[in-house]
Structure 1
């Protein structure tokens, strides 16, 4: 075999190695319902541990935008690991925004330019202004869900987008009428699946209010509701 042929074979081998490296870099990774190839918006994050659970599995967070209603100082005061989690997310390429209201987010200067495969809001809640099972508290939470869905609909990819709401089951939570609210604004329920916190290693659900804001709340039976755009949308 001549020198030129040897060099050509060596070059081919190097190109094959580069192709294999690219394939490895582009390997799709999943954490339950969420893929490293999805463009994901996370809404209403507490200590950002759910976002970090996804990013840790994906190996990167460049496909993710994580948001909180709280400002950065409030996150630092509320949660022992909040800012640490944010810094880890940012180091992995996540875009993080504070002070994002889920009921107005379609007007956000950055989000309004984006469209997402998945928009995720875990355990939406306005905070305890009245007793949990009181009419006034239920109405406030229903309005939160409705306004979130309206805004999320604007930011959703039309062909393959889904809005996910994880929600506690039973009374009074079934009075929030998630499916009915979604249907009225042109969304359809694609699937309802049980939610298990163990599916998201590192995720810590937080009370987010009062002297025990960093403490977990009891989950009980929970489900993730997946909504898609209706055919007429």
Structure 2
């Protein structure tokens, strides 16, 4: 990747990174990054929705998509996180950061579904497990996967860290999340009253990386230093 000009940063992300965003809702998080960077030529933002469903679900989605495209971001629709590593466009790239904010699989039994129900939790876990498996294949050697997720009960029962470990990912850091760090970001519901925000409560951004050579956490640090040294 060839980068010109000064590095521009917003929280964990910079314009020097190749960034993939998935499950983007109304794309307001991607817009927040793009505005901070000034352009977004190294960003790809995706959604499972079609263009028609975006218009129906979110009042600002299409204007956000237009702004992203004007800033150089590639916007891809109908991208399923369970199969994204085989996507005709995405399979050609490796990413420094892959971001999934507040993953949600939808409701098994409509709005009457309870987040406390074990079947509902398994439904969510299947979504996240499939995402991790695909995202791992799409990382650069020293890339990171970031998942922002509620940490209170019953969401803690999803066991995000354990799901990541199942596919060979290692938790680098858990950091408290505040949407105020991302001006313009509006967290939207993925089902039901989609254009409404929801209370995020206590939540964190979990940062994961690949376990290189099936290494232990201590040897992973050595691998990371070597990888960075090769790039310098």
> TM (normalized to structure 2)?
0.88
Q: Distance in 1 between matches of 2:213 and 2:116?
A: 35
Q: Distance in 2 between matches of 1:208 and 1:136?
A: 18
> Any unmatched runs of 5+ in structure 1?
1-22
Match of 1:183 in 2: 165
Distance 1:209 1:127 in 2: 6
Distance 1:153 1:26 in 2: 30
Matched, 1:53 2:32: yes
**Number of the residue aligned with 1:36:** 15
Q: What SS does the corresponding residue of 2:213 show, helix, strand or coil?
A: coil
2:75 match: 96
Post-superposition Cα deviations, 1:176-226, rounded to whole Å, max 9, x if no partner, equal 11111111211100000000000000000011322x210101110010000
- Are positions 1:198 and 2:180 aligned together? yes
Q: Which residue of 2 aligns with 1:62?
A: 41
Partner of 1:17: none
What pairs up with 1:151-190 in 2 under 5 angstroms? 151-158=134-141, 160-190=142-172
Name structure 2 gaps, 5 residues minimum.
Answer: 215-232
Q: Secondary structure at the match of 1:208?
A: coil
Higher radius of gyration, 1 or 2: 1
Question: Using the alignment, how far apart are the partners of 2:23 and 2:210 within structure 1?
Answer: 22
Q: Provide the C-alpha distance between the structure 1 equivalents of 2:57 and 2:81, rounded to a whole number of angstroms.
A: 19
Question: What's the counterpart of residue 218 of structure 2?
Answer: none
1:188 alignment partner, SS class: strand
1:149 is aligned to 2:128: no
CA contact (8 A) 1:186 1:232 kept: no
Matched positions, count: 208
Offset from partner CA, 1:87-114 (integer Å, 9 cap, x none): 0000000000000001110010010111
Please state if 1:217 is matched with 2:201. Answer: no
Match of 1:132 in 2: 115
Deviation beyond 3 Å, 4+ runs, structure 1: none
CA RMSD of aligned residues (A): 1.1
